Amino acid sequence: MTVRGIQQITGSVILAMVVLWIVSFGASAQLVEQGVSDYCIHSSPDASAPERYAATVLQDYVARISGCTLPIVNEAPAKGKVVYVGFTGVPSSVL
């Protein structure tokens, strides 16, 4: 298996974890409503390659499903709704 293949598999696993986390919150975690969202995707500057890949895959799928492209940010905003991809840089209060 190539490095790219391992990155894609790891990215897919991380993406699945993000989706399961969102689903566990049910209706309270509506990412997009009528093509508009208050959410951004956080990918730490220190994120691994699979985490960065998972963030772009999540962004792509949300855009395909809803028509809304969530921005990927390296620093979570002080106020705002954030989808964290991976564990790197996630505040302990979120974990």
Query: What local confidence, expressed as pLDDT, does residue 4 receive?
Result: 72
Distance CA 92, CA 94 (A): 5
Backbone angles phi, psi at 21, to 5 degrees: -65, -45
In the 3-class helix/strand/coil scheme, how is the chain assigned residue by residue? CCHHHHHHHHHHHHHHHHHHHHHHCHHHHCCCECCECCEEEECCCCCCHHHHHHHHHHHHHHHHHHCCCCCEECCCCCCCEEEECCCCCCCCCCC
Query: What local confidence, expressed as pLDDT, does residue 40 receive?
Result: 92
pTM: 0.71
Query: Along the 95 residues of the chain, how does pLDDT read in single tens digits?
Result: 677 777 666 766 666 666 555 545 554 568 888 999 999 999 989 988 888 888 998 899 889 989 999 999 998 888 888 888 887 777 777 66
Query: What local confidence, expressed as pLDDT, does residue 27 receive?
Result: 47
What residues are paired with 40 via a beta bridge?
82
